[in-house]
Structure 1
Amino acid sequence: MSRVITPAEYNMMKEINISLVKVPQVTIGFWVIKILATTMGETGGDAVTMSMSLGYALGTVIFMSIFIAAVMMQTKALKFSPFIYWFAIIASTTVGTTLADFADRSLGVGYLGGAALLATLLIITLIIWYRTLGNIEVASVDNPKAESFYWLTIMFSQTLGTALGDWTADSAGLGYIGASYIFSLGLCAVLALYLFSQISRTLLFWVAFVLTRPLGAVVGDFLDKPVAQGGLELSRYSATAVLLFVIVILVMFLPQRPAKKLH
């Protein structure tokens, strides 16, 4: 005869499940750090490929190696660690920057073509993830297979966001300020849908996650690109260092906990 689970046992099982989740609960602080991280990914990626003159191919190899190492640290961690998680996110934004630039400027794919390809890969990854595990909610990322899908999705979304940002600012001719308005409005629209509609919170999360990347990309370009191109021409090294400092402070002092409900 099956035994009825007591409330205390149920709560204990729920806590054990939460402890296996190593990605953070999505809060306002999460989005603030995410945008700062994407901006830093742009300035940091440009610092290595342009300021250091290492080129897009070598820059991509360097940052892809760092990203893989960061994801390995994340997956091997026994519990949620804010610093390891955000290290992996920053690594994904830098490799997204160099990979998108490599595809456009070295391979000649173009930002629009690259964005279309990456959007397709992103959608395919989400579909396979859903069909394999039956769930793509962030709170369900509590096992190695789900983590693999999660970080692959992250990498595609970061690279897609970079391509979208560069296409909007450069190819579409909106400039960095104009492009930042477009993506900010897009995020406001997602927020409105979150507050006033019944659209899937998981879908809205991933849309917002993608949109924060081009916003960070155009803001990063605005900070370090030449004045003649509409930027402020700040030092890429200084901008990256300041952004990293702010991110570290926020990670240290903003409350963060493992995800435990639908996003």
Structure 2
Amino acid sequence: MQQPEVLTDHDVASSTKSVMKKLPEVTLAFWVMKVAATTLGETAGDLFSQTLKLGYFLTTIALFLIFVVTLVVQLRSSRYNPFFYWTVILSTSMAGTTMSDFMNRDASSKYLSVGATSLGWGPQGLGLGYPSGAAILLSILVVIFAVWRLSGMTFQIRDIVTFRGEALFWSAILVSNTLGTSMGDFLSDSSGLGYAGGALLVTGALLVLVALMKVPVVPNVLLFWIAFVLTRPLGATAGDFLTKPAAKGGLDLGTAGSSAVLLAVLLGLMAYAHVQERAATTA
């Protein structure tokens, strides 16, 4: 007579994670999609607020509501779905773009087209400036991580399987993408480095993080979150480089055209990730 299979606690935990996995594995493909999503978030956010002249205030409200809708879909999903996950990443990138612009910019001619005196309905921006805005966002992000730490839940995204853990994760994602936008705009607009210089600086910092992965005393979780923040200014400077006029150092491809191309690329990557996930599930 065949003996019944004995399951250890480790087997049960592993089985639960395989069924309940809500977030992707962090691979090279993950980072490629992250940069694509954040670059699209920059161009799409600017498309609504500047090209369509809805303004930072109205666009921020609209994109934040879109973020809430996509987040609800992700939270209600019983397992990892690349389309759900990356749609939330994209919505946080778009909302983060206009949230950062609303915090840091104002109605001065520096941020408006020639002859324009306002941009959309409502407040034109708080005018805090990039350093102050970044300091506020960094403080909020530190508070989120402190609450996360005190909750006792893991920072390893592959092990996040609870509603509360995922809610903390997405809160950190939204704030980190907004912070990254402020950093990217500061590098490209105010630092004197320009779009290419800002992108090169962030790329160099990311390469340093890759090297630090080989240093045992540096936690990979810490490196992940630093990289997550830094890939946002990389996407922001890349988006500005694609859309801004040639006189400002950009390629002048426009927000609509650049967003359409980037959306096609991101959808292709999502489809590829979905096929890979299904293959891994059925293997």
* 1:71-220 correspondence runs (5 A): 71-105=71-105, 106-220=125-239
1:232 aligns with 2:251: yes
- Structure 2 gap segments, 5+ residues each: 106-124, 279-283
The whole-number CA distance in structure 2 between the counterparts of 1:139 and 1:70 is 20
Counterpart code for 1:174 = L
Quick check: 1:23–1:80 contact (8 Å CA) kept in 2? yes
Hey, what's the Cα distance between the residues in 2 that align with 1:160 and 1:256? 31
1:185-208 deviation digits (Å, cap 9, x = unpaired): 011011000124431111111010
Question: C-alpha separation between the residues in 1 aligned to 2:210 and 2:141?
Answer: 22
Q: TM-score, normalised by structure 2?
A: 0.86
The aligned counterpart of 1:261 is none
2 CA distance for matches of 1:63 and 1:134? Answer: 29
Q: Deviations over 1:77-98 (max 9, x none)?
A: 0111100000000000000000
Indicate the residue corresponding to 2:44 in structure 1. 44
Q: In the alignment, what sits opposite 1:243?
A: 262
TM-score by length of 1: 0.92
- Give the C-alpha shift of residue 17 in structure 1: 2.2
Higher alpha-carbon Rg: 2
Q: 2: distance between equivalents of 1:50 and 1:104?
A: 15
Q: Is the 8 A contact 1:24 1:256 kept in 2?
A: no
Once the two structures are TM-superposed, the CA of residue 171 in structure 1 deviates from its matched residue by 1.2
Residues 17 and 159 in structure 2, CA contact (< 8 A), matched pair in contact too? no
Structure scoring higher RCO (CA < 8 A, sep ≥ 6) equals 1
Q: How far 1:19 sits from its partner (Å)?
A: 2.1
Give the match's secondary structure for 2:186: helix
Dislocated runs of 4+, deviation >2 Å = 5-13, 195-198, 254-258
The code of the aligned residue for 1:62 comes to: A
Alpha-carbon distance in structure 1 between the residues aligned to 2:276 and 2:194? 35
Q: Is contact 1:60-1:99 (8 Å) kept?
A: yes
Does the CA contact (< 8 Å) of 1:35 and 1:212 recur in 2?
Answer: yes
For residues 100 and 130 of structure 1, do their structure 2 counterparts lie closer, same or farther at Cα, with a shift above 3 Å needed?
A: same
- 8 Å CA contact 1:22, 1:79 repeated in 2: yes
Question: What is the distance in 2 between the residues matched to 1:8 and 1:257?
Answer: 26
DSSP-derived class of the 1:53 partner: coil
Give 1:9 shift.
7.0
Deviates more, 1:194-203 or 1:178-187: 194-203
- Between the aligned partners of 1:233 and 1:208, the Cα distance in structure 2 is 28
Match of 1:6 in 2: 6
